[in-house]
Each structure stands twice: as C-alpha cells, then as structure tokens.
Amino acid sequence: MNNEHGFVLLMTVLIMFLLSGLILHQSKLLVTEREFTNNYREWVIMDTLLQRGREEVATLILQDHDGTLLISENVTENGTIQYDIVPLENDQAHVTLKVKTSGGNDRMGTFTIDLKTGVVSDWREGKVVS
C-alpha cells in the first residue's frame, strides 16, 4: 500500500479521458447522422417535385391546345416547381423543370415531350441550379 504513488488517480484520469472521447465520438456520430438524414430528405423531396412537375406539365400540355403555355411556376407545400416549355419541330417540345425545396435546395430536370400523345422521352436530371 505504501508503494502505489498515485496509481488510482492515474487510472481514474485515464478512464475519464477514454469515456470523454467515447462521448465526443458518439455526439459527432449523432450530428453526422442527423445531417445525412436531412440531406436524404431534401433529395427525396427534390426527386418527388421533379416527378410531380413532369406529370403536371405533361397533363397541361395535353390540355393546352392553343400553345400559349410556355413558362409557369407551381408552389407546393414542399417547394416550388418552375417549368419552361420550348416548342420544337415534329409536334414536340423541350421542357426544363427547376425545383426548389422549402429547405432551399435546387435541382433541375429536362425532357422532350410529344405534344400529341404526351409521351416523355430523353429525361435528364441532376444538374444543380446555381
């Protein structure tokens, strides 16, 4: 007993250091996981807005017989959908969709649509709007 010279204090400090590191690591994991979940949620919302915009534009184009529908914006509970329709040859149109979530994230998609049948082709997405 006389020869310990602070062994208990050294072990206590070491154990406290390890526990503090473990707590710090777990809190960093929690923050990272929360950020990942928020980013994934925003990505799903952007994808849903793009798909919803594609369906709405296809429906509107089939209903618009005089060709006056060129630019419009639709505000939803999750964000906004903007579309720009450029008529092409052979009864087709090129549509550009830009969506912005309520969280502030932007995404863009483009496609070509047949004005008579409403068939969508050449769907491209993923360009981040700056």
SS3 percent helix, strand, coil of the chain, rounded to 5, is 45, 30, 25
Q: Is residue 23 pLDDT above 70, yes or no?
A: yes
Q: For the segment 45-79, what is each residue's pLDDT rounded down to a tens digit?
A: 999 999 998 888 888 888 875 666 678 888 888 89
Give the whole-angstrom CA distance, residue 20 versus residue 18.
5
- Which amino acid is it at 89? E
The answer to whether the beta carbons of residues 98 and 106 sit under 8 Å apart is: yes
Give the whole-angstrom CA distance, residue 7 versus residue 46.
59
The CA angle 62-51-95, to the nearest 5 degrees, is 50
Q: For the segment 84-119, what is each residue's pLDDT rounded down to a tens digit?
A: 888 888 888 888 999 999 888 899 999 998 888 888
